[in-house]
Each structure stands twice: as structure tokens, then as C-alpha cells.
Amino acid sequence: MSAQDQPSESKLWGGRFTGPTDPLMDLYNASLPYDKIMYEADLTGTKVYTQGLNKLKLISDEELVKIHEGLEIIRQEWAENKFVEKPGDEDIHTANERRLGEIIGKHIAGKVHTGRSRNDQVATDMRIFVRESLKNLSLKLKAFIETILKRAESEISVLMPGYTHLQRAQPIRWSHWLSSYATYFTEDYNRLQQVIERVNKSPLGAGALAGHPYGIDREFLAKGLNFDGVIGNSLTAVSDRDFVVETLFWGTLLMNHISRFAEDLIIYSTAEFGFVKLADAYSTGSSLMPQKKNPDSLELLRGKSGRVFGGLAGFLMSTKSIPSTYNKDMQEDKEPLFDALTTVEHSILIATGVISTLTINKEKMEAALTMDMLATDLADYLVRKGVPFRETHHISGECVRKAEDEKLSGIDQLSFEQFKEIDDRFEKDVMDSFDFEVSVERRSAIGGTAKSAVLKQLENLKAQIK
């Protein structure tokens, strides 16, 4: 029987319908092609739910055993890619219940939905699936951060320019740059734990919207599904998709940080900079120019951030005017969510591979340091002599201009006499200001680029993800 000839009464909701639906409507309505990824969550939810019905004596002990045996057969079929989908399988819930009826008989299988609606069922499946996906992402994100921290520790002696407005500003440690992004990603990691906590609330037992007619123990169901508690209002339980929005927002923010991380490395890998070189595994060549080595992995990381953001923006538009409780608009939650979870997972893995395999060019990094980057150190020198900073800033600027007028390679090339002409408070030890290592080591306050400060940052980040 084709989908368009299938009588409506064969559907879960078909009792009052006598005619077939438009075949295009069947296709438009179906979500099985993408929500079957939740088969594990759906079967687990049904297993625990039937235990709750058994407590109410709505399902006998013998029936419960048969139901659980049937659910396990279905689980195995999905796992081995042997589950046969049929016309009328609108979604993963319909498909699993239909198959359960084939295995153990429709009479017993027909009891599993007692008091349950697809409204609370799908909300439960989604929360289980998202919770487990986010826990998986948490492990991968932690490994990514640990990879960055390990690299930062091993290459802490390397100096490089720090930039503002993409202009060379002050000398920093390469490890300080690594620590900067490790800090972003650790904040993402901490934020993720909070999202998981809010996701992990049970809607099961809320029914279609008004609650459960048989007084099922919702806390028993929540405990059986490893939820931290129940959602206390049945209307909210079936209609809340804030956890989807928040997951998409979290993924968007993480991808924003990954995109910025990738952009920096793209710039640093250019011939003009030459600070880093990507491994061949994360690069491609040109179809025309044999000399090219393109940072495609980084460009894809940058590009896919827009994909995740688009999913968030689109779903927010889908939900902004939905009236209370469940509406079919909410089915639009799954595709952007599943796509985002996959994209984020792959992006974390690629970013981990990139940062663990790239090589740095210490000589080019340090060769990019120029004496004009120590202009602030020159101002700080006079501050230590008791001159107000606003005044020293102006004096240092005069020194920079004098070096430019004299066409010198840097302010360190000014003679002591020239310094004295600009301001007689300069002393001969002024020349000690022109040392990049000394400059970074002076910045030893919390968060600075001195070796001791960077090591403290790394230890703090390790502690946060431990």
C-alpha cells in the first residue's frame, strides 16, 4: 500500500480521519529521515515509561517483560542498520511503536502509549539526545583545551608580536596567545556544563499538555532516565524549546571563538607572516598553482561558524510567535539542532588536529618584533623616574617621531644625547629599555605575558577543566 493510499486510522492520530492525506503532506509532515538518529533515546524513554505504567498496574509484569524484549530487538535492528522503515512511519516514535506491535503483537504494544503523548515523548527524546550529545562534546572540547595548554607549556620561551587593529602593538609570548584562546574555550566549556544542567529536566508524564490522567510518578520516570528533576508545569514541559535555543546559542558562541582562532592562524600562516605552518593533513593545494598550500581546514572552521549561527537565527524566527503549548512549528527544532551538534563536534576535532600538528617558526616570530613596539616601555621607564604617565606618553611619542625623522630603524638607534635633548630626565640606563624579553617579563601581574604570569594562567585553566 502506498503512503497516499494508507488509511488515516493506521496513524497514531487517525481515529477521526477517514480519508488519506495528500502524499506531499505526508512528506512535508514526516521527520523520520532526520529524527531517527534519536532511536536510542526513544527506546530508552519507552522502557522507563512502561516501568512507570507497570507501577500503576496498567501493564502487567508479563507484558512489561515482553515489551522490554521487543524494545531490545528494535534497538539491535537500528544499531545494525537492519530496521525496515515503512510508509506511515512519520517519525521515530511512530516507527518504533509500529515495529513493537509487529514483534509482540498490537494488543500489548498498544499499551505503551497509555497516558503519553507524542508531545511529551518527543520533548523527552530531545532532552536525552541533547544531554548525551553535549556530554560527548564536553569531552572533546576538554581534549582540545588540553592540547592547547600542552603546547603553550612546551613553547613558552617563544616571543612574537601582539596585535591590536591588526597592527603590531607590544611583544608577547606565543604561549600567551595560546592561553588567550584556551581561556575563551574554557569559558565555553564552563558554559556548556551549565547548559547540560538546564537541559537535564524531564518533561515525561506531562501528557499532551494538561498532565497525566493516571497519576504516574514523574519523579520515578525522571530518575530512571537520569534526569535531575522534572519540569514543574505540564504546559511548559511539552512546549519548551529553550534548551534547543540555548544549545544552538552555545554552539554559535563556541564556533565564533573557533572562527577567530582560525582567522589568526590563517593570517599567521601566510608568507607575509610565516609564523606557523600547517601540517599537510589539514591543507590542500591549488588546481592551477603548484606552489600553493591552502589552509582549507581553517577556512572551513571559519565558514562553518556562519552555518551554526544561521541555524540559531532560523529557529528563533520559527519560535518567536508560537502560541502556548505544542505546535507543529516545533518540529523545525531538529534539523538545525542535529546539524549544529555534528558541525560543532567535527569542528572541535579538526581544530584539535590543526593545533596539535602545526609547526611554528620561532625565528620569524621574533624577527617580526620591532623596536617601535617598545615605545610604551620607554614611557614606563620615565614613570619609574617619577614622571606622570600622561607626560611620558607624549615624550615617548616625540622619541618615535625623532627616530622617523632621522630615518633610523628604531627608537633604540637614537643616541643618549638625542634622548637628553628630548627630555633631560633620561639617564644612561634608558638603553636597557630596548629588550623584548625584559619587556614581556615586566608584565608579571595576573593575566600578563611574563613567563610566571602565563604559567599561572595555564594552571588556572587546567584546574577549571579538571
H-helix or E-strand spanning residue 236: helix 234-239
User: Alpha-carbon Rg of the chain, whole angstroms?
Assistant: 31
244 with 123: CB under 8 angstroms? no
Here the cell at position 181 is 584562546
In whole angstroms, give the CA distance from residue 223 to residue 52. Answer: 11
The rounded distance, in Å, linking the Cα atoms of 268 and 176 is 15
Please give the Cα distance from 58 to 63 (Å, whole number). 10
Q: Which of 438, 416, 281, 422 is nearest to 352 (CA)?
A: 281
Amino acid present at 396? S
Q: What whole-number distance in Å separates Cα of residue 297 and Cα of residue 245?
A: 27
Residues contacting residue 216 through CB under 8 Å, at least 6 positions apart: 52, 53, 55, 56, 115, 205
Contact, 369 vs 159, CB < 8 A? Answer: yes
Rounded Cα distance, 35 and 412, in Å: 66
Sequence-ordered list of residues with C-beta below 8 angstroms from that of 320, at least 6 positions apart, any chain:
none
Question: Catalytic pick from 10, 157, 286, 452?
Answer: 286
**CA separation, residue 342 to residues 126, 137, 213, 217, 349 (Å):** 15, 10, 38, 35, 11
Whether 165 is a known active-site residue: answer yes
DSSP run (H or E) holding 193: helix 174-199
Catalytic residue among 107, 165, 287, 321: 165
Cβ neighbours for 337, distance < 8 A, ≥ 6 positions apart: 126, 130, 244, 247, 248, 311, 315
Q: Which residues form the catalytic set?
A: 165, 286
